Amino acid sequence: MANTSPAIEDYLKTVYAHTEWQPDAITPSVLAGRLGIAPSSVTEMVKKLAAAGLVIHVPYGAVRLTPLGTDRARQVVRRHRLIETWLVREMGYGWDEVHDEAEVLEHSVSDRLLEAIDERLDRPTRDPHGDPIPLADGSIVVPDAVNLAIATPGHTGRIVRISDRDPAVLRSLDEASAGLDTALSVTDVAADVIRIDLAGRTHALTRAAAEAIWVEA
């Protein structure tokens, strides 16, 4: 992988992940919140990334990756998601426990070890949360999906992705047996609750839980 610092890798990965499942580009303020960094620090780093040809940014505007930035970001994303998959399949971690471990390991694992992990896992195409794993050449296939929070009553499909942003949500979905590839139907949509039929049982999901789930479009 190109010689970039862990801080740069974190920025690129966060910008990339923000638009992977929805079209709106990330703003500096949202970027600061996701990284837990002061807005002034984000402003300075974004300037450095723009100077390096990794992002496009105008003052007070959104931050977008350049083709070079996208390539670098996917390298980091590949590392992160393969490590998460390895931790779940081989090391006994729960899907709600792997994110922070992968955040550390992604910056230090060698290309040789990453290739060995990929081969050991039989070239997985998605991580434990359904996020697609980029191939070594940078190509990636994102399934056509819709966020459950905006799905309409009657929508039916398999779960293809569950966000790992909130481990508590992952644990609650586990309790409801809502995992990847589980088929569900939306039965009712209210301001604060989304009701779904899952394996013959009705579940009332909070909007926060629904926002973490993507189903087939």
pLDDT at 2: 60
Give the pLDDT confidence of 121-143 residue by residue, as tens digits: 999 999 999 999 999 999 999 99
Contact 29, 38 (CB under 8 A): no
Instruction: Check whether 1 has a pLDDT greater than 60.
Output: no
What tokens appear for 55 in the block?
Answer: 């992002």
pLDDT at 173: 84
Contact 195, 187 (CB under 8 A): yes
Q: Around Cβ 137, how many Cβ atoms within 10 Å?
A: 8
What does the mean pLDDT of the chain come to? 93
**Average pLDDT rounded to a whole number, residues 171-191:** 89
* Burial category of 111 from C-beta neighbours within 10 Å (exposed 0-12, middle 13-18, buried 19 and up): exposed
Q: Which helix (H) or strand (E) holds 43?
A: helix 39-51
pLDDT at 70: 97
Instruction: Check whether 109 has a pLDDT greater than 80.
Output: yes
Instruction: Check whether 202 has a pLDDT greater than 80.
Output: yes
Instruction: Check whether 4 has a pLDDT greater than 90.
Output: no
From the list 112, 110, 150, 144, the residue with the least C-alpha distance to 130 is 144
Reported for 54-60, long-range contacts at CB under 8 A and 24+ positions apart, including other chains, are 54/8, 54/12, 55/12, 55/15, 57/28
pLDDT at 3: 66
Q: Which helix (H) or strand (E) holds 132?
A: none
